Amino acid sequence: MNAQIKKGILEMCIFWIVKESESIYGYDLIKKVGEYFKEVNESTFYAILRRLEQRDSLKSTVEKSTEGPPRKYFSITETGENELQELIDEWNELKRIMESLGL
């Protein structure tokens, strides 16, 4: 799959899972998305999470854990929700175009 297409799809999936979860531990998020994108390594996911956090699309909080070091939990911001909606709209438009071509 083309890297740019995969990047957009990964971001959309990450946004969706975070939104549905309200708040999710980073590693759990990576495991969930990784079920569908087995060829993507953890460092790629963490890079995407850092980028989304830097542009204020996701926010994180660090919480203590009884099972080891503190854990970083992610939640979606209003900016992220707007980006998710744009990605969904673009995805639906692409699907419409592909279907009209008979693909």
Q: Which residues contact 45 (CB under 8 A, 6 or more apart)?
A: 10, 14, 29, 30, 33, 34
pTM summary value: 0.85
Q: What are the structural domain ranges in the chain?
A: 3-100
Q: Are 89 and 37 in contact (CB under 8 A)?
A: no
**Other beta carbons within 10 Å of 48:** 19
Partners of 7 in beta bridges: none
Q: What's the fold here for domain 3-100?
A: Arc Repressor Mutant, subunit A (1.10.10)
Residue 6: pLDDT above 80?
Answer: no
Place 3 in a pLDDT band, splitting at 50, 70 and 90: low
pLDDT digits (tens, 9 = 90+) for 35-59: 888 888 888 889 999 999 999 999 9
pLDDT digits (tens, 9 = 90+) for 82-97: 999 999 999 999 999 9
